Amino acid sequence: MRTLLLLLFAASLSAASPGFAAEDPVASSRSSAARPDFSGSWERDFARSDSWEDELQRTLDQWNRLVDRGVDGGGISSSRRRVGNVVANARLAELITRQTTIQIEQDPYEIRIKRWGDADLVCSTANNLEDTFNSPHGNEYCGWDRSQLVFEIALESGVLITHRFSVDATRENLSMMTTVSDRRSIPFNLRQFFYRYDAPADAYECVQTLSRGQVCSMAPQVGDEGEAPVESLR
């Protein structure tokens, strides 16, 4: 099953619409297909980001137009059930994109996206497709679609979550397109925009120990020459 999902993800990358990057104002500003540098601290641009309620209404309107034209809704006879699935996917998309800031670390070999309250998204900077995580609850894959970094999470329930990250050539603007879909509803898309900001230095440095758990101490400040940090427990 994992092999099948991996092949499907590879196919989805290769078959991605050529116009996707052109529709993304962040991705379209790049003039090179080289690996972009995502590293840095990023804060949500609420003025440019989608409202999940507005996108939900737009998606429901789209579904109603399909029903009016008699388009088959995936074999589901009950339109009300289909609408309920769209609403559930929209709420899931809103839940997993609530972070107002994200921290991205990148080196020549790996990129790590840190999200408050959620697991890190980790991918290689190489060209190969990666099976990055699997469990009884689902599988996670990552790969590159030209200059876009793509994560796909296939849950055991049949829900598919896709994150597409793009950064512009100035490295001042980042976009994240999240798509939640399943076999019983049309995809729900939610796009978030971020701008770079200077995150304050962490006042604490923490280390995990076997005997005492997580032990934290005050990080040395500029000008604190020779002064030992005061240890505390968090």
Q: Which of the two residues, 66 and 188, has the higher pLDDT score?
A: 188
Examine the pLDDT at 7 and tell me if it is beyond 90: no
Question: Is residue 233 very low, low, confident or very high in pLDDT (cuts 50, 70, 90)?
Answer: very low
Give the pLDDT mean for 3-30.
48
Q: Which residues contact 11 (CB under 8 A, 6 or more apart)?
A: none
Examine the pLDDT at 71 and tell me if it is beyond 80: no
**pLDDT value at residue 4:** 46
Question: Mean pLDDT across the chain, nearest whole number?
Answer: 78
Angle at 159 between CA 12 and CA 99, to 5 degrees: 95
> Which range is least confidently modeled, 96-105, 165-174, 198-207?
198-207
**pLDDT value at residue 59:** 94
Q: Which fold has domain 2-196?
A: Lipocalin (2.40.128)
Residue-wise pLDDT for 125-143, tens only, equals: 886 666 677 777 788 999 9
Examine the pLDDT at 209 and tell me if it is beyond 70: no
Percent of the chain surpassing pLDDT 90: 45
**pLDDT value at residue 31:** 40
**CA distance readout (Å), 228 to 54, 80, 81, 203, 206:** 53, 64, 62, 14, 15
**pLDDT value at residue 199:** 80
Query: Would you give the DSSP letter of residue 147?
Result: T
Angle at 186 between CA 55 and CA 45, to 5 degrees: 30
Domain spans in the chain, listed from the N-terminal domain onward: 2-196, 204-233
Residue-wise pLDDT for 84-118, tens only, equals: 889 999 999 999 999 999 999 999 889 999 998 88
* pTM for the model: 0.71
User: Comparing C-alpha atoms, which of 227, 233, 195, 194 is closest to residue 212?
Assistant: 233
Examine the pLDDT at 210 and tell me if it is beyond 70: no
- What does the block give as tokens for 169? 């050539």
